[in-house]
Structure 1
Amino acid sequence: MGPGSDHTRPDGVDDLTVEALGNISEALEAVEIARGHLYNFHRLSGTADLTLGKGVEQLREAGHTELADRFERELVGRNVLEGRWTFQVVEEYDDGYYALFRTLERDARDALVEGRRHLFEAEMKEDRRTHGRDGHEATPAD
């Protein structure tokens, strides 16, 4: 058996269109990874600020009040970018670049291949798998 209908190109769709949509999908995957790193940045920055606060309190308890005051005044709770904490960076990315990328990728698939995803990869799988061999089935149902 071959791929299901949701992974078969519609009639009349040429190779270049499938390849173009494959590249756009690959680019979206890179954006998804970048978004994950941005969330990691958000989490690590928040953790750093909270841990810094603990360290500053310990400096204060150890009698290093002037140094603790400087850390607290200049660094604890500071914006990571002008006017922004990391949650604001994440929100701006999600609502702007990321949302637009996802919308345009989906719109292109809807317009050109009836919304079908991963056609390039599905065709690559068909070309590379050994038909009839265990572990090389086209779909889980095979």
Structure 2
Amino acid sequence: MVEVPDALSTLFSAQIETDGDRYVVEIPKSEVSHGAVSPGETYRVGLLSQVDAGSSTAAPTQAPKQDTDPGRVDTGVPQPPVDEGEIRNVTIESLGDQGDGIAKVERGYVVIVPDGEPGDSPTVEIETVQENVAFASVVDNDGRTV
């Protein structure tokens, strides 16, 4: 079984393309737009081969986690790592343009928290989930119910 470190920034599928005397792995635009990676930065990359269903020589892999939401369709594109109604502990890292707190969770996915201040670690309820951002409300801030 492959052990995945907590420091994993992003996980996606891509094909390796040939470009002259080099090979290219394209990063999906969504990974940049939600802050998992930034152009011009250097990253460590790990590659896992795709298992062919009919191949007996492929390395064994862990079965993908089945999504418990029957409304979600597997499109091959990573889904947001949060669900509406989910309760989460987050840490506010910065402030957005409108003064709301910005927290990041798995894969750099952004959660907007109204009235959050950098360094706050509130418990929030995810209210609205979009492709690259979620909006949450504080349900408990440092032991005080809001």
User: Scaled by the length of structure 2, what TM-score is found?
Assistant: 0.18
Higher RCO structure, 1 or 2 (CA under 8 Å, sep 6+)? 1
* Higher-strand-fraction structure: 2
Larger Rg: 1
* Higher-helix-fraction structure: 1
